[in-house]
Structure 1
């Protein structure tokens, strides 16, 4: 459903990466967030995600997600590889390695998401915005 919705509404454009303000976002998340520095990005209807969010979501959707899915399917059907002629091209150790790497990358993404939900104006302001659909603006 998400893929259908993104393409029919044009929301996929929200994930086109940009390098503008990437350095400012890195500085903000490394130090500024702890010193109450102003956020270098303001969300608008046309730009809902900051440059780092765009890169992260694009990475998950284009690389991590497909890597987990494909290596997972290769894992599930490992016993069928000889029947399909794949045993000549795939090694279970490499499938396991890449599946594990993708799983750890997804775990890092999840931990960062959970942490950053608490980094709003108040501890729960981002969570409230997710539930209500309304976000507090300065």
Structure 2
């Protein structure tokens, strides 16, 4: 079984947003900056759940710029028998980059429209966008 655990939080000490996460065999989250840069967050990786219950699960922390989007998704969004996984992941990055400044609802709807073509697996997505800090407060 795969799992990803993530927490987007305000770091008062660093005065920025951060994403703290651990991954057990799940597809890597996609970070999308407001300028449209994308990259998969591949830190904090460990084996599938149930493989070794005593195994330490590392975590990773990623600082997030204001208005960044973290996209979590199931493999049904990107895996297709008819197409290479690397090509599908590149398409996800390309679509997400083009939608970086869209409202979050539009961002998710358009990703589904653009990528959920002939797939037969279930698809789930969670997208979180950071706010902008104002004079010491966070939103």
Q: Same fold (TM over 0.5)?
A: no
TM-score (norm 1): 0.26
Q: Which of the two has greater strand per residue? A: 2
The one of the two structures with greater contact order (alpha-carbon pairs below 8 A, sep at least 6) is 2
Could you say which structure has the larger radius of gyration?
Answer: 1
